[in-house]
């Protein structure tokens, strides 16, 4: 797999353009979130920046059992950093479902654990482990 960028997002010296919200299972039907600004020109580059940033749990672990997903939003919004408008529930089969309360946001992408692990594999194949 070859990526189209000239400089990987995690090696760029530029302002963050995206916000990521990592959702993890906290047990008892609850979830936790961690928000952070990332670089990139599209949601996949933004997720790659999150994955390959030094110390990233997602980049270090090919399988992260507590992971529910990662929401990527274009633009940095302090409200989203503090309390993102994300709803997380389990469906009737016990699988996590992620919904964005602000339905009119066109620049929001939700990545599933399988999509994330696939990107981690592709990144590690081309670039090696995280720094």
- The pLDDT of residue 102: 74
The verdict on residue 36 lying in a domain is yes
Range of the domain at 38: 14-127
Nearest in space to 130 (alpha carbons), one of 58, 69, 39, 47: 58
The verdict on residue 45 lying in a domain is yes
Average pLDDT over residues 119-123: 89
- The pLDDT of residue 63: 65
Domain total in the chain: 1
Tens-digit pLDDT profile for residues 101-113: 876 677 899 999 9
- The pLDDT of residue 28: 86
CA 16 remoteness from chain centre: 14
The verdict on residue 9 lying in a domain is no
The verdict on residue 107 lying in a domain is yes
The verdict on residue 33 lying in a domain is yes
Tens-digit pLDDT profile for residues 62-87: 567 889 999 999 999 888 899 999 99
Alpha helices of the chain — where are they, by DSSP H?
43-52, 57-60, 78-82, 113-127
The verdict on residue 4 lying in a domain is no
Average pLDDT over residues 46-59: 82
């Amino acid at each position: 797999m070859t990526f189209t960028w000239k400089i990987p997002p995690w090696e760029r010296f530029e302002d963050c353009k995206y916000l990521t919200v990592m959702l993890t299972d906290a047990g008892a039907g609850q979830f936790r979130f961690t928000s952070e600004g990332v670089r990139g020109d599209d949601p996949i580059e933004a997720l790659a920046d999150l994955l390959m940033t030094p110390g990233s749990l997602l980049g270090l672990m090919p399988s992260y059992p507590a992971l529910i997903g990662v929401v990527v939003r274009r633009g940095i919004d302090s409200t989203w950093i503090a309390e993102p408008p994300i709803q997380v529930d389990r469906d009737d089969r016990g699988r996590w479902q992620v919904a964005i309360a602000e339905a009119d946001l066109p620049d929001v992408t939700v990545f599933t654990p399988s999509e994330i692990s696939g990107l981690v594999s592709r990144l590690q194949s081309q670039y090696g482990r995280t720094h």
